[in-house]
Amino acid sequence: MTESDVAYGAKSKYTEVKARAYANRDARRNIPELRLVARAFQLIPKPARY
């Protein structure tokens, strides 16, 4: 698959090697990302979360 075949360019740049590196990164690097997710979930009414 080439970049011209993909509508979203980042998909073609996200390789298996990069995915594994992201999954195995230091846990402290996840904290800001998880805080952002927590803030996003606060905007969703509690009954709709389940």
Taking the domains of the chain in order of start, what are their residue ranges?
A: 3-49
The per-residue pLDDT for 43 is: 92
pLDDT tens sequence for the chain (50 residues): 555 565 666 666 778 898 899 889 888 888 999 999 999 999 999 888 77
The per-residue pLDDT for 31 is: 92
The per-residue pLDDT for 8 is: 63
- Residue 49 is encoded by which pair of tokens? 């979360």
- Residue 29 is encoded by which pair of tokens? 């690097």
Residues whose CB is less than 8 angstroms from the CB of residue 1 and which lie 6 or more positions away in sequence, other chains included: 12
The per-residue pLDDT for 14 is: 76
Report field, pTM of the whole predicted structure over 0.85? no
